[in-house]
Amino acid sequence: MPKDAAVEEFAGLVRTLKARDGRSYEALGRRLSVSASTLHRYCSGATVPEGFAVVDRLALLCGADEEERRALEAAWTEADRARRRTASPVPSPTPVPAAPEPDPEPSAPEPGPDPAPDPTAPEAPRARPRRAVPAPLLVAAAVALVVLALAAALLGRPTRTASAPAPASTPPGRTAAPLPFTWTIGSQLWQGGCGHTYLVDRAPGAVAPPPVAADSGAWAGTHGAVHGGEALVRITLQGRSPSDAVVLHALHVRVVDRAAPLPWNAYRMDNGCGGAVTPRHFAVDLDRPRPLARPVDGVDASGAEVRTIPAVSFPYKVTSSDPEELLVSARTAGCDCRWYLELEWSAGGRSGTVRITDGGKPFRTSGTAGRPAYLYDSAEGRWITDAESGQTG
């Protein structure tokens, strides 16, 4: 593919992401920590970024799925190769000076008429005719001069070869070989199976009754709902081998976008429910500049006495017969945050990082402070406010 076509294809994909998001170059640039003019050059094809990381952050920010991100990385790889070829053209060979031609023999003057011989003069010695240099010897000399000049040029300056473009690095979460473990997530979980709040950009009359917890994903997708105040994410991990354990070293939180909390209505999925068991989990405060996944104790109040379920910190080990389940509780009061998780692992001399997202897109959680809050009155079959129900907060 010609380099111009590769760069244009990459720029077209970046323009599509930017148009889909709808934000200005300045707004997106602030989120990506690049200037508006730099982002504009990426979109126009005037510049190809030296690394894929900034483009991958843009893709996540604009809601690209896994397939789109793979296509974007492939297009960037080709465009980067074109950029490298343009920046480092193959040097043209140094011209070799031509061998000097032998000086032509001076031509003798035109002979005049022979003078009459003097019978008394002694006979002059005859000049010995010059022997012409054979043509094969001239050719051999010219070839020798060319070889010597070329050798001097090569020895005087190191030979340069066009360097092959560097292979694209494997992004976090992907490895050349299959992962030694499997993982799945649940991102539409409710506290205790009944308590949750969604933010929805609809009036109460246009919102369906709350679903059962098992149908929460479909309900949220239909209404374009965003987790309000807290998002619960369950990660289930299982090794592929019964004997070779996979070690899970750390869980990192990456916030890709922060904005003001959504000005939408808050809809509670219950009237309040007290779960007998609160499992141990990892608490994440998205309002902190650098959120951390902090292990928290769980509580079991199902018996006569309340029992603490001790938190367990990393590392963990998983095999095919010993899976592990991690529960992450990400909370915010002051932002509309888009975020994802990175899990570090090692096994059998290999190591890597898995990026955990919500089906290829960042998780999203927004604060609910000051938003109109509604709960569902089953008797009347409609959403009512806290004031109407006699509840507050």
Q: Is the peptide bond before 158 cis (omega within 30 degrees of 0)?
A: no
The per-residue pLDDT for range 174-233, each reduced to its tens digit, is 545 899 999 999 999 887 666 899 999 999 999 999 988 888 999 999 999 999 999 999
Residue 337: strand pairing partners: 258, 365
Amino acid present at 353: T
Cα-trace Rg, the chain: 39
Q: What pLDDT does residue 374 have? A: 94
Q: Is 24 helix (H, G, I), strand (E, B) or coil?
A: coil
Torsion of CA 210, 211, 215, 221, to 10 degrees: -30
User: Is 76:9 a contact under the CB 8 Å cutoff?
Assistant: no
Using pLDDT thresholds of 50, 70 and 90, give the confidence band for residue 88.
low
Identity (one letter) of the amino acid at 207? V
Euclidean distance between CA atoms 245 and 316, whole angstroms: 10
- Say yes or no to pLDDT of 147 above 50: no
Pure H helices in the chain: 3-21, 25-32, 36-44, 53-61, 66-87, 135-156, 216-223, 386-389
CA distances from 115 to 110, 118, 121, 295, 354 (A): 14, 9, 13, 125, 109
Indicate whether 291 pLDDT > 80. Answer: yes
Which residue shows structure tokens 């569902």?
Answer: 376
Q: Residues 311-349, buried b or exposed e (16+ Cβ, 10 A)?
A: eeeeebebbbeeebebbbbbbbeebbbbbbbbbbbebee
- Asked whether residue 135 carries a pLDDT value surpassing 90, the answer given is no
Instruction: Count Cβ atoms within 10 A of the Cβ of residue 58 and give its class: 0-12 exposed, 13-18 middle, 19 or more buried.
Output: buried
> What average pLDDT does the segment 372-382 reach?
91
Helices 53-61 and 25-32, axial angle in degrees (round to 10): 120
Q: Give the Cβ contact number of residue 296 at 10 Å.
A: 16
> How many CA atoms are closer than 13 Å to the CA of 267, on its beta-carbon side?
27
Is residue 261 within 8 Å of residue 350, measured between CB atoms? no
- Coil, helix or strand at residue 343: strand
| Position 129 pLDDT exceeds 50 | no
Query: Is-contact 226 337, C-beta < 8 A?
Result: no
User: Which of residues 97 and 83 earns the better pLDDT score?
Assistant: 83
pLDDT digits (tens, 9 = 90+) for 154-168: 444 433 333 333 334
Which of 42 and 124 is assigned the larger pLDDT?
42
Rounded CA separation 199/193 (Å): 18
Q: What integer pLDDT is reported at residue 392 of this predicted model?
A: 52
On the question of pLDDT at 285 being above 90, the answer is yes
Residues in the chain: 393
